[in-house]
Structure 1
Amino acid sequence: MSAQAPACQLLERQKDNYVALWVIGPPVDSWLIGQSSGVVSGDFDVLREWQAKGKQARTPFDLAVGEPFGKEVVLFWPKAHQLGIWWLKWLCEQLPEGTPIEIVGEHQGGIKRVPKMLEELGMPWDKRDNARRCSLFATQTVALDSTSDSAWQQFETLGLTLNSHPGVFGHGKVDEGTLLLLESIENSLPKKPLKVLDMGCGDGIISAWLAQRGHHVTAVDVSAFAVEACKRTLAANGLEGRVLCSDVFSALEGEQFDWIVSNPPFHKERDISYGPSQRLISAAPEHLNAGGRLILVANGFLPYPDLLQRAFQDFQTLADNRRFKVYGAIKSQR
């Protein structure tokens, strides 16, 4: 089966060179899954696809520093360059010095900037191949002056300390939509503790804000980087909460909540994708107690009113600042 992703097509030309390939941060691609021994990724969907084919699958936070996982390593260059630099530093910490690494990516995703970044890190490089608007570079791990942990950013907002990582939504700043959402629910939050689900928790701002007000928070995200960021944010503020890797409701079978609160994503890398938001809205009633509320914020142009109408029969616009809208829907008491 020919590979779908252009970067995988470029790798397919080198396939005779790979015996026990480990891929880092890859797309889901059937040829690649079949070709590789294992994957390290921050994306729960990717890990699940590799596991389903009986392959090894780890997040970078599952591996102890220096724990071996592979000698043939290909890094797929991410859209967020700071995340790419983090992966390079992490690989240098994780693997013995001098371990060969290949880096592949699409030209529109910024792979052409990689040689400059490798030079800045003191990593040697050469170009191995170039086709299908993709490039493949070869380098090797070196001992670095700075650690991958230096990529974490801590900043203050709304009386909270947030921890953020490259590749996590809104890295290093507070999203305007999230602020509008919190502002719009501040006065309607009951005093009694609610069981609240923060869907797509990112750096944990919504979870921490709710936990600070005494609510019992479960936070989920499909990104292992976001899960780690949210855990660090809760810890930095001395707050309690349960944080899970989950593709929408996949880790919450049968659980119900008083409120579900979300600033759902609508991008997957460079593509617009409404899939997760559609699943969130359509399945929300099953995961709400009677009288429970779904509250979400979205860019004003997104087609959520129709989805909310179908799932709940009724919804309200709680706030609208022209760029973002906050919607609220209540599950009927029946």
Structure 2
Amino acid sequence: MSAQSPACQLLERQQDDYTALMVVAPPVDAWLIAQSAGVISGDLGVLSEWQAVGKQVYSPFALPENAVTHGEIVLFWPKAHQLGIWWLEWLCSVLPTGTAIEIIGEHSGGVKRVPNVLAERGMMCDKRDNARRCSLFATRTIALENTLEDAWQRFDALGLTLVSHPGVFGHGKVDEGTLLLLDSLEKELPKAPQRILDMGCGDGIISAWLAKRGHAVTAVDVSAFAVEAAHRTLEANQVNGHALQSDVYSALESETYDFIISNPPFHQERDVSYGPSQRLIRQAPKHLANRGRLIIVANVFLPYPDLLTEAFGSFETLADNRRFRVYRSQRS
């Protein structure tokens, strides 16, 4: 587990009684896990860390009524500003009016904008502390007009209607790597329906594109926001597909597929993390049928060729536009 984050160092020095602390959208931090009563997060990896030591865990899309109405509530302001606003408005929608909450974050992540966000909504703001290039603000929930659905953005691309959210990779656009991957898939995939796993599905663009061509698609992502976006995208395009939350293959048991397709992430907030991508590649042979193929797209500087060779014995480069490459490996 990583060293204590700067935001948690700032929180620790408050010397508050955290026995009933509920943290919202936090980083994985050993001190925070030990101190807090529970966590609310859209990230399955985060939930698993708290659950492993018997703490309360909740998803914003499956919160029991009155689950969090007491104790200290701290929102960790995310890098994506609009996602921070969504979390703030979500807390106002699920907590009683006047509930005390605190907002903490790193200056490089945009937490300095929080006073303006609160002022725009008529919410009080008290700056409690400032250190470690982080700030801590206190406020109270108010009754707001419910605009949570407004965060779900619909846009058209590649003949599809996509539904996205600020908490999802590539929110509101189709990234260059995905376009290169889909162009390769157009040439690579058989016309006959295939069983395909879309790993790290994001807003579901790859899943919807595949389902529209008749393939049987399972879409997975560690993010509850992405899974919900993929559900909505599949529904908006009137195509079939199964979307579920999974930390890489954790929810898939022994299921196998003809193809595993992915534009794997390598960032967690502002940190570079190859862990999920390494597991995606190394464990892929166990989840591929005989002669099944893994096809991924990645920035050219990422160290995936060695991983593919280690897992499969070889790989081919299907496309290279000098910024991204599409790789293919096949299970023997």
TM-score greater than 0.5 by the shorter chain: yes
Taking the TM superposition and a 5 Å limit, the aligned residue runs for 1:137-286 are 137-286=137-286
Quote the Cα distance in structure 2 between the aligned partners of 1:145 and 1:213: 41
1:3: how far off? 7.1
1:207: how far off? 0.5
Quote the Cα distance in structure 1 between the aligned partners of 2:114 and 2:161: 32
Match of 1:301 in 2: 301
Q: Retained in 2: the 8 A contact 1:3–1:31?
A: no
Matching of residue 318 in structure 1 with residue 318 in structure 2: yes
Match of 1:69 in 2: 68
Query: Helix, strand or coil for the counterpart of 2:28?
Result: coil
The code of the aligned residue for 1:87 comes to: W
The code of the aligned residue for 2:279 comes to: R
Normalising by structure 1, we get a TM-score of 0.95
Match of 2:134 in 1: 134
1:246/1:56 CA distance change after superposition, 3 Å: same
Give CA deviations for 1:222-255 in whole Å, capped at 9, x if unaligned. Answer: 1111111111111111121111111111111211
1:19: how far off? 3.9
Long gaps (5+) in structure 1: none
1:274/1:3 CA distance change after superposition, 3 Å: closer
Root mean square deviation of aligned Cα: 1.5
The code of the aligned residue for 2:323 comes to: R
Match of 1:48 in 2: 48
Query: Helix, strand or coil for the counterpart of 2:143?
Result: coil
Give CA deviations for 1:5-43 in whole Å, capped at 9, x if unaligned. Answer: 111111112243434111000011122112211110011
Quote the Cα distance in structure 2 between the aligned partners of 1:148 and 1:125: 22
Give CA deviations for 1:185-222 in whole Å, capped at 9, x if unaligned. Answer: 11222122111000000000001111111111111111
The code of the aligned residue for 1:230 comes to: A
The code of the aligned residue for 2:12 comes to: E
Identity level (%): 71
Query: Helix, strand or coil for the counterpart of 1:105?
Result: strand
1:3/1:31 CA distance change after superposition, 3 Å: farther
Q: Retained in 2: the 8 A contact 1:21–1:70?
A: no
Q: Retained in 1: the 8 A contact 2:5–2:29?
A: yes
Query: Helix, strand or coil for the counterpart of 1:187?
Result: helix
Match of 2:16 in 1: 16
The code of the aligned residue for 1:7 comes to: A
Query: Helix, strand or coil for the counterpart of 2:206?
Result: helix
The code of the aligned residue for 1:197 comes to: L
The code of the aligned residue for 1:69 comes to: V
The code of the aligned residue for 1:131 comes to: A
Q: Retained in 1: the 8 A contact 2:93–2:146?
A: no
1:146: how far off? 4.8
Point out 4+ residue stretches in structure 1 off by more than 4 angstroms.
Answer: none
Long gaps (5+) in structure 2: none
Normalising by structure 2, we get a TM-score of 0.96
Quote the Cα distance in structure 2 between the aligned partners of 1:319 and 1:167: 29
